[in-house]
Amino acid sequence: MTDQTMVLRVENISKRLGGRQILKDVSLELHRGELKVLIGPSGGGKSTLLQCINFLIPPDEGRIWLGEQQIEIHRKQDLYAYRQKVGMIFQDFNLFDHLNALDNVSIALRKVKKIARKDAEERAMRELERVGLGDKTTLYPSQLSGGQKQRVSIARALAMDPEALLLDEPTSALDPELIGEVLGVIRNLAQDGMTMIMATHQLGFIRTLADDILFMQDGQIIEQGSPAELLDAENGSRTQAFCAKLNELSDESET
């Protein structure tokens, strides 16, 4: 699915928070249709990196391009336009508590993109059907399960026609039996050629779908490569050791 068109380029991002260096000189490139996966120990900077990419946390240093255009954080209108094109999925969903599923998806279309209510709702309806929630449009967040909430949040991001999606551990706040439905939706997106960066520890998913793995530790990308390269039991990579550990833990919890 990957072609050589550059969608997103991140160059030398650094960030200090509370006197601690969270990100050190991180760079990455994302091509059209590519799925890059961020893994690594918690506190390694995965979440901060994703939030720096759409300036929810402004990086101290570094530059970011969307296609050919370098993003100037100080030009508010440019920043808002950029964020509309880079969707974000949060670990804890962050749905709007006062809106039902349909309005959660359509509100940004109506208020930010200024699309007429009827068209916005039609579009929202299509996106909710795409994530398998066509029959849940009138329910409020408190009436949805975790997996359903995360699927609404994916529909909300998709409705904006993003050029890339940033997914920050989208399944780690979910009960084990709900993970599958969310991963299923993301899998379909990957197969349809959506460009994505995703922090996740779902190894099965990573093995089958990731084009590239970025292993992050102490605010740096210390290893990068395809799943075949990095997860090969023979190669002694840091990534492989980490994943073996994850495997052990998940085996233990299942027995």
Partner 1 sequence: MDEWNFFIHQVVPALNRGLVQSMWLILPSASIGLCLGALVGTLRAYGPLPLRKACDIYATVFRGTPLLVQLFVLYFGLPSIGIYLSPYTAAVLGFILCTGAYQSEYVRGAFLSIRRGQLLATQALGFSSMQSMLWVILPQAMRRALPGCGNEIIYLIKYSSLAYIITFIELTGEGKILAVKYFRYTEVFFAIGLYYLFMVTLANFLLTWLEKKLYIPGFGRG
The residues that touch partner 1, with contacts defined as CB under 8 A, are 51, 54, 56, 76, 80-84, 86-88, 90, 92-98, 107-108, 111-112, 139-143, 153, 156-157, 160
Nearer to partner 1 by C-beta: 151 or 156?
Answer: 156
Nearer to partner 1 by C-beta: 39 or 160?
Answer: 160
Question: Chain-centre distance of CA 166, in angstroms?
Answer: 3
Smallest distance, Å, CB 163 to partner 1? 13
Nearer to partner 1 by C-beta: 82 or 242?
Answer: 82
CA distance 181 to 223: 30
CA distance 85 to 55: 13
Nearer to partner 1 by C-beta: 41 or 58?
Answer: 58
Smallest distance, Å, CB 22 to partner 1? 17
Contact criterion met (CB below 8 Å) for 35 and 211: yes
CA distance 188 to 35: 12
Task: Please list, in sequence order, all residues whose beta carbon lies within 8 angstroms of the beta carbon of residue 41, skipping any fewer than 6 positions away.
Answer: 217, 242
For the chain, list the strands marked E by DSSP.
6-17, 20-31, 35-39, 61-66, 69-70, 86-89, 164-168, 196-199, 212-217, 220-225
Nearer to partner 1 by C-beta: 101 or 206?
Answer: 101
Smallest distance, Å, CB 83 to partner 1? 4
Smallest distance, Å, CB 113 to partner 1? 8
β-bridge mates for residue 87, sequence order: 165
Smallest distance, Å, CB 245 to partner 1? 29
